[in-house]
């Protein structure tokens, strides 16, 4: 059993709290926020959960095993660091930290103290993303050539970070999970239209050691919501559209076959088109699976799917993309 | 009335021929191809049209007003140059020429000899593209922030030019027509997967003097055909999907309004969502309109919508994009 | 202020309870179910709401103004009758009652006692349905020619009533509301495939005094969920698709114009196709609006939009359709 | 080799002519129309095809093996009868004849004279319809429960026959082909809105001996074109949407399983949802396959897929539906 403290009860924290509260590995859950109004609201909903307005009470509790941090990005690093130094396993919402160096230090602290660090890349626990990973790993798509991803919608402008830091963590965590590698190069192009200095549209290019490339489009300005990822492999192609209610994934048996010329002739190309299959996806709440992964890793010492290392890889790509975007303008 | 000669009766030339043949301004049409088989085929279809296997016969015909060139890209420049030097008005299929310098020389030759040069950017004569131009020019969308365009499909790999030279002329000609400006910067990222040295996927970024930016995706590898362009303006947004049978254009009354803070407060953003309108598009064959434009400009001396200047702008962007793509790899 | 008692806390009752609880006209709300487990569950959620396991306690409470009945269909009639006889205003879930005669008696009882009777035809309070009513009433569509409606999905078979009684109340209540009339003829065709004697697919034809006709398809067996209604008018046509996340309503400026022959000639028909408009829909929870309507009518004595008369019209059509279906098999 | 004469060169005849012209079994083709203008037009297109303005010349030609009749429905019967009496094999456009008795007589004449009679139910030669037949026959869908079909669009009103005679032949021929049976009962409901006495919308119910039922909607008044057929089987379900460019057929692994109660309990239903598969369809022009079938059957004496018997079954259902529609109004 794991005793956890949840720090930060604003927009996202209550969702994490609810899923730890419902998890069979959780015991003596504590919730924490320095804002009394937020704390009051949660006390009404969870009258049987302990609470505190000072996170230091959590860190000083020698029975507490782990903390879950769902505060502003700027406080991820100091809170997580303090928790790790206090010997607590740590789950941090995405993005892991505000810079590469912060994220690296947290990963190191976790390792040297034998503590779990995990980052809330929830999509890595979502059924269509996991199914896509299975299909890729099975070799059905062949070598992955390139991936394009769209994550655009009208709304909600952040006032302190670019659209890259807001939306790209989703795509980056999925891409790196699927490909099993970090990009060797990242560049970005975009612009700030609504708020000065806060880019609200960005086109990000990534190159991977395997030879795969990717293009990620993120925007807070768009006529309609798009959540569409296309994976082009050497044997088949896959479309993952998260806005589809049912057919979220479609596998296209499509490709080009190159026929080697026997002697002096030209290469011959034949285009292959076969069935299209939309596989059944298992049911399952990604957040419940994510919290289960964290508590399980705390108990077993296993490395979580979205560990600090994965969180660091995402932060590294975010920082590179953001720097490239600034340079381009 | 205009006497025209059509040079090149391969894949596209017959379409141009058919539309000149049916145009009321056309007289004494001549067709020309050095391949006897092609010429035979067209003689069967147009027994009343004169023909020759040598384009020089056309250029030497003092009654001939204009030539239409639908040959391989590499021969656009020498043929068009020879025709202009022979005093003929010239229509050249897209892309105008194989390099910026070639295109510039053709434009200059046309100007200095008082001859029409026109390039076959057919999309500039297509009803949804023209309607989009009208909507933009009316101010309904406000300032144009950014444009994204997808032109991907499985097939048909070219063996001599990259996917940029093959597909991007369509998007570039539309973009420059809509915005009324050429890009100040062009860069591209992509890869060659199927044929060595022939990139089959590319992501192109463009920045315009007005502050607008654009991202154009072109690929010969894709699970399904996409022809989707999104225009985000400061007041409204427009989606042009050429694969839709009916609702090719949709105008979204959507946007963000920034409310200036009265004193020290933060900027307030409100998101606006209203009706979605799919305007009726006039019927009309783009190619017929394109040929009508050419013959009309030959008669009147007017400058065509897709003149050599527009063709040169497209070639300039293609060359920049291709060079950037090579450098990136 | 209205003191209400909610009877029946099974599947749907809690939704009604929640919306009365949050309504500013509600005071001293009481909830009631004979099943202690259900009552317990609701007591946890609404610790400040009074409760009773015996509905007679409600009826005997002289301060109680109204009851809301969300029990099994078979008990609608006896409970509503007893409540009306006790002088309480009554809201009954759809379908109003299990037979025409039951529904007629309840309407009469309400009238003769000066009490409100209202039926839970929630769709009549849903933004797209109200917008459609406004568009029809404005005359924009012209005369309504015919309406087709699909309400099919895989699941959930009822074990006591046909798919007509389960799903058609939605379509019937919308149709009669839009057209402002009851059908003069109803017939149905269908079959029972999964459970003997319980038809799970039905095709229902309706003819209205105005000359309009309608076809309603309902099924518990279908490959995908359809909620699509098409209204063909003499001037324009409207599609209402409730499965669309955004563009639930589209108005097509389409029609046929008949040109009278001047003398002996034939009628000439011209087909008209114009813009397609998807109007912005107001936000709003239909159930909240429905409860507001009930409480408001109790206070003011006004006749609710979905009064007992409307509920009776639906029951009449259901009984006719069901009888026709049985005869056809 | 088969010598054929094509009678009727109006709207559809030229398509049949083109496909016979291109068929390797065809020799000495003759075309025929009493309208000189039509004949002239076709002579320009097919200068090497013989022609006549009098169909009797065809019937008197002892070398002629077969005639293809693409005239008005009212002349199908007299022309086909005369051709059969002259010993010619006969292909007649759909609908086969204007009444059951006419169709029956033609079938009898063909049989008693050992001549092929075939009807132009082109959909029976279309790849998605044939694929659907194969899937049904393989048992993959289980028992066929019911089929719904939509064939609606704005236009083109006929001035002599109802929408049933115009559009339902397509659906009827597909349904009877798939199910391998004729309906035991047919009824229809509809109305004439634009032209007096010419119903332009109809809802047709059909019951089959196997227990399957069907609902067919046809209309010349509709906001958008629908060509959607849903087949619900006991094991799987199939959607055939002919307006889809690629995924015309989708097979849904969906259904209800009834678990028999062990003792007194209730039936338990479980709903099953699996993969969705859109099978690859072979390429192929239905009309070419249809003409190949006719010429092949003329050569071999085989019975064509859409023989006079199939044409008669369709006419029988059309006449029943039309009569029912008239009675209902």
pLDDT tens digit sequence for D34-58: 999 999 999 989 999 999 999 999 9
Closest to D275 (Cβ–Cβ): which among A253, A273, A280? A280
Provide the chain C residues 185-224 that lie in CB contact (below 8 A) with chain A: 224
User: Which of D147, D186, D187, D256 to mutate against chain C (most C CBs within 10 Å)?
Assistant: D256
Within 8 A of C246 by CB-CB distance, chain A residues are 224
3-state secondary structure chain D: CEEEEEECCCCCHHHHHHHHHCCCCEEEEEEECCCHHHHHHHHHHCCCCEEECCHHHHHHCCCCCEEEECCCHHHHHHHHHHHHHCCCEEEEECCCCCCHHHHHHHHHHHHHCCCCEEEECHHHHCHHHHHHHHHHHCCCCCCEEEEEEEEECCCCCCCCCCHHHHHHHHHHHHHHHHHCCCCCEEEEEEECCCECCECCEEEEEEECCCCCEEEEEEECCCCCCEEEEEEEECCCEEEEECCCCCCCEEEEEEEEEEECCCCCCCCEEEEEEEEEEECCCCCCCHHHHHHHHHHHHHHHCCCCCCEHHHHHHHHHHHHHHHHHHHHHC
Domain match, C165 and C222 both: yes
Secondary structure (3-state) at B201 = strand
Within 8 A of B266 by CB-CB distance, chain A residues are 159
Domain match, B93 and B173 both: no
Q: Give the residues across from B324 on adjacent strands.
A: none
* Domain of residue B97, CATH code: 3.40.50.720
Q: Is A329 touching D (CB cutoff 8 A)?
A: no
Closest to B256 (Cβ–Cβ): which among A221, A234, A255? A221
> What is the enclosing helix (H) or strand (E) of C290?
helix C286-300
Say if B248 falls within a structural domain. yes
Domain match, D105 and D179 both: no
Handedness of CA A173, A177, A179, A185 (dihedral sign): positive
pLDDT tens digit sequence for D142-181: 999 999 999 999 988 888 899 999 999 999 999 999 999 9
Q: Residue C265: pLDDT band by 50, 70, 90 thresholds?
A: low
Domain match, A176 and A322 both: yes
Within 8 A of A283 by CB-CB distance, chain D residues are none
Residues B67/B20, Cβ–Cβ less than 8 Å: no
Closest to C246 (Cβ–Cβ): which among A224, A245, A246? A224
Closest to A203 (Cβ–Cβ): which among B190, B203, B252? B203
Assigned token pair, B55: 């384009």
In this prediction the pTM is: 0.93
Domain match, D41 and D133 both: no
Contact D189 C213 (CB under 8 A): yes
- What's C318's DSSP letter? H
Domain match, D103 and D220 both: no
Say if B260 falls within a structural domain. yes
Q: Residue A263: pLDDT band by 50, 70, 90 thresholds?
A: low
pLDDT of A264 above 80: no
Residues C82/C58, Cβ–Cβ less than 8 Å: no
pLDDT tens digit sequence for A30-81: 999 999 999 999 999 999 999 999 999 999 999 999 999 999 999 999 999 9
Pairing label, strands D66-69, D89-93: parallel
Within 8 A of C275 by CB-CB distance, chain B residues are 277-280
Domain match, D113 and D132 both: no
The domain boundary residue, chosen from A120, A147, A182: A120
Contact C201 D155 (CB under 8 A): no
Say if A299 falls within a structural domain. no
Secondary structure (3-state) at B216 = strand
Contact D215 C267 (CB under 8 A): no
Provide the chain C residues 62-121 that lie in CB contact (below 8 A) with chain A: none
Q: Is B155 touching D (CB cutoff 8 A)?
A: no
- Closest CA relative to residue C273, chosen from C298, C254, C256, C297: C254
User: What is the predicted pLDDT for the residue at C327?
Assistant: 86
In sequence order, what E strands does chain C have?
2-7, 26-32, 50-52, 66-69, 89-93, 117-120, 144-152, 185-191, 201-207, 213-219, 226-233, 237-241, 249-259, 268-278
Closest to A254 (Cβ–Cβ): which among B154, B195, B211? B154
Q: How far is it, in rounded angstroms, from Cα A77 to Cα C242?
A: 45
Rg (CA), chain D: 22
User: What is the predicted pLDDT for the residue at C157?
Assistant: 81
Neighbour-count burial of B266, counting CB atoms closer than 10 A to its CB (0-12 exposed, 13-18 middle, 19+ buried):
exposed
Phi, then psi, of B209 in degrees rounded to 5? -55, -35
Q: Which residue has the tokens 């009098």?
A: D54
C260 CA to chain B: closest CA distance, Å? Answer: 26
Domain match, C134 and C270 both: yes
Q: How many CB pairs under 8 A join A and C?
A: 4
- Closest CA relative to residue D314, chosen from D136, D145, D178, D183: D183
pLDDT of A109 above 80: yes
Closest to C276 (Cβ–Cβ): which among B253, B274, B278? B278
Domain match, D116 and D206 both: no
Pairing label, strands D213-219, C2-7: unpaired
Contact B276 C277 (CB under 8 A): yes
Mention every residue, 6+ apart, whose C-beta is less than 8 A from residue C317: C168, C172, C176, C182, C183, C186, C206
Q: Is A258 touching C (CB cutoff 8 A)?
A: no
Rounded percentage of chain D residues whose pLDDT exceeds 90: 89
CA A272 to chain centre: 34
- Please state whether C301 falls in left (phi above 0), alpha (psi between -120 and 50) or beta: left
Say if D310 falls within a structural domain. no
Total of domains in chain C: 2
Burial A68-105 (b: 16+ CB within 10 A, else e): bbbbebeebbebbbebbebebbbbbbbbbbbebebbeb
Q: How far is it, in rounded angstroms, from Cα B223 to Cα A147?
A: 12
* Domain of residue C138, CATH code: 3.30.360.10
- Please state whether C30 falls in left (phi above 0), alpha (psi between -120 and 50) or beta: beta
The domain boundary residue, chosen from A55, A86, A120: A120
The number of residues making up chain B comes to 329
In this prediction, the answer to ipTM > 0.85 reads yes
C243 CA to chain A: closest CA distance, Å? Answer: 10
pLDDT tens digit sequence for A213-241: 999 999 999 999 999 999 999 999 999 99
Q: Is B278 touching C (CB cutoff 8 A)?
A: yes
Least reliable range by pLDDT among B106-110, B268-272, D98-102, D271-275 = B268-272
Domain match, C214 and C109 both: no
For residue B247, the chain C residue with the least C-alpha distance is C276
Say if B24 falls within a structural domain. yes
Domain match, B133 and B253 both: yes
Compute the CA torsion angle D108, D109, D115, D116 (nearest 10 deg).
Answer: -60
pLDDT tens digit sequence for A283-314: 999 999 999 999 999 999 999 999 999 999 99
User: What is the predicted pLDDT for the residue at A160?
Assistant: 84
Domain match, B106 and B136 both: no
D21 CA to chain B: closest CA distance, Å? Answer: 17
Say if A306 falls within a structural domain. no
User: Which of D277, D282, D283 to mutate against chain A (most A CBs within 10 Å)?
Assistant: D277
Which runs of consecutive H residues, i.e. helices, occur in chain B? 13-21, 36-45, 55-60, 73-85, 100-112, 127-137, 163-179, 286-300, 308-328
Say if B211 falls within a structural domain. yes
Contact D258 C154 (CB under 8 A): no
Q: How far is it, in rounded angstroms, from Cα C33 to Cα C75?
A: 13
pLDDT tens digit sequence for D244-266: 999 999 999 999 988 776 666 66
Q: How far is it, in rounded angstroms, from Cα B164 to Cα A165?
A: 30
- Closest CA relative to residue D19, chosen from D125, D116, D97: D125
pLDDT tens digit sequence for C127-158: 999 999 999 999 999 999 999 999 999 988 88
pLDDT of B244 above 70: yes
- Closest CA relative to residue A30, chosen from A8, A4, A9: A4
Residues B147/B208, Cβ–Cβ less than 8 Å: no
Contact A145 B224 (CB under 8 A): no
Say if A265 falls within a structural domain. yes
User: What is the predicted pLDDT for the residue at B68?
Assistant: 98
Domain span at residue D103? Answer: 2-120+286-304
């Amino acid at each position: 059993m794991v005793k956890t403290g949840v720090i930060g009860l604003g927009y996202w924290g209550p969702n994490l709290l609810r899923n730890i509260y419902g998890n069979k590995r959780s015991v003596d859950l504590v919730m924490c926020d320095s804002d009394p109004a937020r704390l009051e609201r949660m006390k009404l909903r969870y009258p049987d959960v302990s609470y505190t307005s000072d996170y230091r009470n959590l860190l000083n509790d020698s029975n507490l095993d782990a903390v879950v941090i769902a505060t502003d990005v700027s406080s991820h690093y100091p809170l997580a660091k303090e928790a790790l130094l206090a010997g607590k396993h740590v789950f941090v919402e995405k993005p892991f930290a505000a810079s590469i160096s912060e994220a690296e230090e947290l990963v190191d602290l976790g390792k040297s103290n034998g503590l779990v660090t995990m980052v809330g890349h929830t999509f890595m626990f979502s059924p269509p993303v996991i199914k896509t990973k299975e299909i890729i790993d099975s070799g059905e798509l062949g070598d992955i050539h390139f991936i394009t991803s769209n994550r655009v919608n009208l709304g909600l402008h952040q006032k302190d970070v670019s659209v890259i830091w807001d939306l790209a963590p989703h795509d980056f965590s999925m891409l790196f999970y699927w490909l099993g590698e970090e990009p060797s190069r990242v560049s970005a192009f975009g612009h700030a239209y609504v708020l000065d200095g806060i880019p609200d549209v960005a086109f990000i290019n990534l190159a991977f050691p395997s030879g795969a490339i990717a293009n990620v489009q993120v925007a807070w300005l768009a006529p309609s919501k798009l959540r569409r990822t296309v994976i082009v492999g050497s044997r088949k192609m896959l479309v993952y559209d998260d806005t589809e209610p049912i057919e979220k994934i479609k596998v296209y048996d499509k490709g080009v076959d190159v026929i080697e010329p026997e002697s002096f002739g030209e290469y011959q190309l034949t285009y292959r088109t076969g069935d299209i299959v939309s596989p059944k996806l298992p049911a399952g709440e990604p957040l419940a699976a994510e919290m289960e992964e964290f508590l399980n890793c705390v108990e077993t010492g296993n490395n979580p799917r979205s560990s600090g290392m994965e969180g660091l890889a995402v932060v590294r790509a975010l920082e590179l993309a953001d720097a490239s975007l600034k340079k381009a303008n």
